[in-house]
Amino acid sequence: MAEIATLDALSGLMARQRAVREFTKDVVDDGLIEQILEAATRAPSAKNEQVLRFVVLKSPESKRQVAAIVGEAPGPGRTPWDEVPVLIFVCAANPFGDTATGAAAQAGSVYPGIQNLLLAARAAGLGTVLTTSRAKIKEAELRALLNLPEGMDIYAIIPMGWPVARIGKNRRRPVSEVAFRERFGDAW
Amino acid sequence: MAEIATLDALSGLMARQRAVREFTKDVVDDGLIEQILEAATRAPSAKNEQVLRFVVLKSPESKRQVAAIVGEAPGPGRTPWDEVPVLIFVCAANPFGDTATGAAAQAGSVYPGIQNLLLAARAAGLGTVLTTSRAKIKEAELRALLNLPEGMDIYAIIPMGWPVARIGKNRRRPVSEVAFRERFGDAW
């Protein structure tokens, strides 16, 4: 039987997941990308619809085209769209409809897989950053670039590569500030 | 330094995440629940807003009240709201607004933490099932029950407990069917 992560080892990994925007020029092997995408497919989805699709961009020309579309000025916090080794576009059709219930089912079928992807990349020592707003702001142009079929939307663009700096622990509010017992506001 | 999950161990865990709806009567210790919630807080959120809040129901009376509200008839696939050891309500306010960009930022700030929670529970040997539709359909009554403040919404209800049956591997489409290279439709 395969080794399975313990809770302590998983917690240690999750505590060291941070947004990375500076990458070395080193390539990321296709085999490793495939294992990371496989992890993403393992996440739950409503009615097991498995809505997620991934378009992986590695060619310099594709990445230049993305950079030209998203058009971010250089500076701190800038995502280096055209320099990162890999850009993963996370796409999905929505079989659940646009009601509040359908939107929740769709979101609950898309982002758990994205989180699996980010965690798997981190476990491999890769850096990533989850971006959602650029995909929405420039969705029409990006859809055309990727040849997305009708009804297939872009939910995230994830730059991925080997981090320049060591990825340290993230900082979060303690559980005592975000968890309650039986009723909201009652101390955990 | 703490042990950190390897990609192989993480993949093994993710491949064994499945929805569980049958639980033993055994209690789940608060210390374990706290470690699982701590894992949830470690997920990324847009602008590091850390929007997630958790209301943990363990009292039989609270769970009976939930069951009375969601009112599911017994049968296969039914969630045993009033019998499960723990019900975790995942709540959040939305600081990003209701535009397409804001909704994506919010969803990308809520469900990654939910997935961390589900994975952490699985790593501990606990069973869970991610439910989103009941929370939306009955949100007004559930909000009143939990004393949620204005603007705090319910995104998911997660039953959690020790599984009756062994949790086996899930089945998913292979990466070759869901991943593409450079353009949608071009074989990975």
ipTM: 0.96
pLDDT tens by residue, A131-171: 998 888 999 999 999 999 999 999 999 999 999 999 999 99
Residue B72 has pLDDT above 80, yes or no: no
B30-160: CATH topology is NADH Oxidase (3.40.109)
- Is it the case that residue B1 has pLDDT exceeding 60? no
Mean of pLDDT over chain B: 94
* Residue B34 main-chain phi, psi, to 5 deg: -65, -40
- Taking an 8 Å cut-off on Cβ atoms, the answer to whether B180 and A101 are in contact is no
With 70 as the cut, is the pLDDT of residue B2 above it?
no
A 143-162: CB under 8 A from B: 146-149, 152, 155-156
Q: Which residues of B touch A183 (CB under 8 A)?
A: 55, 146-147
Q: B45 with B109: CB under 8 angstroms?
A: yes
Return the higher-pLDDT residue of B36 and A75. Answer: B36
What's the sign of the alpha-carbon dihedral A157, A161, A165, A171?
A: positive
Quick check: B73 pLDDT over 80? no
Q: Could you say which of B10, B104, B136 has the minimum Cβ distance to residue A119?
A: B10
Taking residues A124-133, report their average pLDDT. Answer: 95
pTM: 0.96
Task: Retrieve residue A153's tokens.
Answer: 């939307």
| B183, pLDDT greater than 90 | yes
Is the Cβ of B92 closer than 8 Å to some Cβ of chain A? no
Closest partner residue to B183 (CB to CB) among A35, A114, A146 is A146
For residue B34, the chain A residue with the least C-alpha distance is A175
Interface contact flag, B11 A179, Cβ < 8 Å: no
Contact A135, A154 (CB under 8 A): yes
**Which pLDDT belongs to residue A173?**
98
| Structure-block tokens of residue A58 | 């590695």
**B160 and B128 Cβ atoms separated by less than 8 Å:** yes
CATH architecture entry for A19-165: 3-Layer(aba) Sandwich (3.40)
φ/ψ bin of A5: left (φ > 0), alpha (ψ from -120 to 50), beta (otherwise): beta
Q: Where are the domains of chain B?
A: 30-160
Residue B67 in this model has a pLDDT that exceeds 80? yes
With b for 16 or more beta-carbon neighbours within 10 A and e for fewer, the A71-95 pattern comes to eeeeeeeebebbebbbbbbbbbbbe
